[in-house]
Amino acid sequence: MPSPLTDTFALRGIYYHASISTDGRLDSDAGVPGTPFSAEDDFGLADQVDQGRMELTFRIRGQHRVRADYLKLDRAATAVMARTIRFRNTVFNPGDLVESRLDLRAMGLAYSWMPLRRENYEFGLGAGLHLVDASSSAVVRARGIREEGSAVGILPTLSIDGTWRFARRWSVSGHLQYLSVGSSDIDGSYADHHVDVQYRWKPNVAVGLGWSLLKLDVDVQDDELPGTLVLDANGPELFFRVSF
């Protein structure tokens, strides 16, 4: 029976139910510190979302694997401000009706080398690059106010990766990716953790359950969009996997 240890190509379609917390601060163009805020508590953005994800995996000469994945988290809400919040160059007052939006795109490409490889398991190390695109907006129509901001970053990570086939049709797979960076313009960390159990229903088809965590923690000193963002998204996955 084929398994993730022998597949040369796999496509995973994923339903992801994520719990999200987002804390941030956006400073003004003049350098005036913004008010720390919770996107969920202050602006009413959903703290749980249902999203689709895609993942491609290629195996090259047995010990080498390349994985590409894509995640989109889009949220929008309308909320009445309960307190004063300085948001970039604007001050939102109690009672303001604010229409807000926060969109996140994360595309990853990771390479893993599996030096420890046996018939029923493999374990290795790797490195990856993640393109993260975040954009936000906040509008108070009654006062003619609109604030927008966006940022794009490429974040490298180091990783550990492994698979264990513990029965003829059953296997466990997982990876941990993490890196912390610091420079004159940005300090922060990026983490992408995943584990799943899958059942080989047909020789080329598997179904499974998993859990994924994405955490982004950045402090930006750049003049275009100074501030901080801490985003934590984690939750269960249900997926359908086709492989050859």
Give residue 181's pLDDT band: very low, low, confident or very high (50, 70, 90).
confident
Tell me, yes or no, whether 1 lies in a domain. Answer: no
Look at residue 112 in the predicted model and tell me its pLDDT: 97
- Cα–Cα distance measured from residue 231 to residue 199, given in angstroms and rounded to the nearest whole number: 32
19 neighbors 74 (Cβ within 8 angstroms): no
pLDDT at 223 over 70: no
The pair of three-digit structure tokens given for residue 110, joined into one six-digit string: 């990771």
By the 8 A CB rule, do 119 and 76 touch?
no
pLDDT above 90: residue 31? no
Any domain includes 120: yes
Q: Is residue 3 part of a domain?
A: no
The CATH code of the domain that includes 108 is 2.40.128.90
Residue 107 lies in a domain: yes
pLDDT at site 219 = 87
- In angstroms, the CA 196 to CA 108 distance is 18
Residue 22 has pLDDT above 80, yes or no: yes
Output the pLDDT for position 105. Answer: 93
- Could you tell me the residue range of the domain that residue 169 belongs to? 9-243
The mean pLDDT value of the chain amounts to 93
Are 100 and 76 contacting, i.e. CB atoms less than 8 angstroms apart? yes
Query: How confident is the model over 177-188, as a mean pLDDT?
Result: 81
The answer to whether residue 4 sits within a structural domain is no
The amino acid that residue 184 corresponds to is S
DSSP conformation class of 82: S
Does 231 score more than 80 pLDDT? yes
Amino acid occupying residue 53: R
pLDDT in tens, 125-141: 999 999 989 889 999 99
Number of domains forming the structure of the chain: 1
pLDDT at residue 224 greater than cutoff 70:
no
Predicted pLDDT at 16: 97
Average pLDDT of 199-222? 93
Report which of residues 112 and 151 the model is more confident about. 112
Tell me the per-residue pLDDT of 33-75, one tens digit each, with 9 for 90 and over. Answer: 999 999 999 999 999 999 999 999 999 988 999 999 999 999 9
Residue 160 belongs to a domain:
yes
Predicted confidence (pLDDT) at residue 222 exceeds the cutoff of 70: no
Domain membership flag for residue 169? yes
Portion of the chain with pLDDT greater than 90, in percent: 80
